Structure 1
Amino acid sequence: MSNGVKEITPEELQAKLEAGEKLQVIDVREVEEWNAGHIKQAKLIPLGFLPTRVDELDKDVPIVMVCRSGARSHMATEYLSAQGYDVANMVGGMLAWPGDTER
């Protein structure tokens, strides 16, 4: 854990998704980055919009935050954690994602 933020590896997330675990994968990159390739099960909420779109998240379902390298998603994880969400940051971001991506 980094600064009290829960973390998950890309491989752990991939295994959870493949096992059909109920998760919310939130990608906080910008639209252009999303369009270049994203995790199939992810939902795009660019970091700047997160405070105004937080009501789209289900507090009862664990959340995994994703970005390009892990820095923006780390900030988003800190923010949501302070709001009482069960949230983890995917370390390494999409640069470390071993699975398939969609465009």
Structure 2
Amino acid sequence: MAQEVTIDELESAIDNGAFVLDVREADEFQAGHVPNARHIALNTVPDQLALIPADSRIWVICQAGGRSMKAANFLEAQGYDVVSVAGGTGQWIAAGKKVSFEESV
């Protein structure tokens, strides 16, 4: 099972250029997401592996942590170095952290 990390660990990782994968639906992503997140909806992750770097840690986030853990477990089974963000975007926003509204990077 993939490791879970906190939103504070994610914030530090983003400051250091981490690859953040947001697996929520497009409308959720457009309503606000963590800075520099790449959007790939959970149900399309298996078809989008070419867009996910295999040479760095992947930080997977959703709204609360359920979908990100599913994606993280799948990616880990494919050989990726991956973690799931506990509490997700909901906890990130509730903590008053920076939210982006631009398109996927």
**What is the letter of the counterpart of residue 70 of structure 1?**
G
Q: Percent identity over the alignment? A: 35
Which consecutive segments of 4 or more residues in structure 1 shift more than 6 A? none
* TM-score (norm. length: structure 1): 0.90
- Give the deviation of 1:93 after TM superposition: 0.6
* TM-score (norm. length: structure 2): 0.89
- Give the deviation of 1:9 after TM superposition: 0.4
Structure 1 position 27 matched with structure 2 position 25: no
- Give the deviation of 1:24 after TM superposition: 1.1
Gaps of 5+ in 1: none
- SS state at 1:64 partner: strand
Matched positions, count = 98
Question: 1: CA distance between counterparts of 2:25 and 2:47?
Answer: 16
- Give the deviation of 1:16 after TM superposition: 2.0
Quick check: 2:65–2:88 contact (8 Å CA) kept in 1? yes
- Give the deviation of 1:40 after TM superposition: 1.7
Aligned with residue 12 of structure 2, among 12, 15, 24: 15
Q: What's the counterpart of residue 56 of structure 2?
A: 61
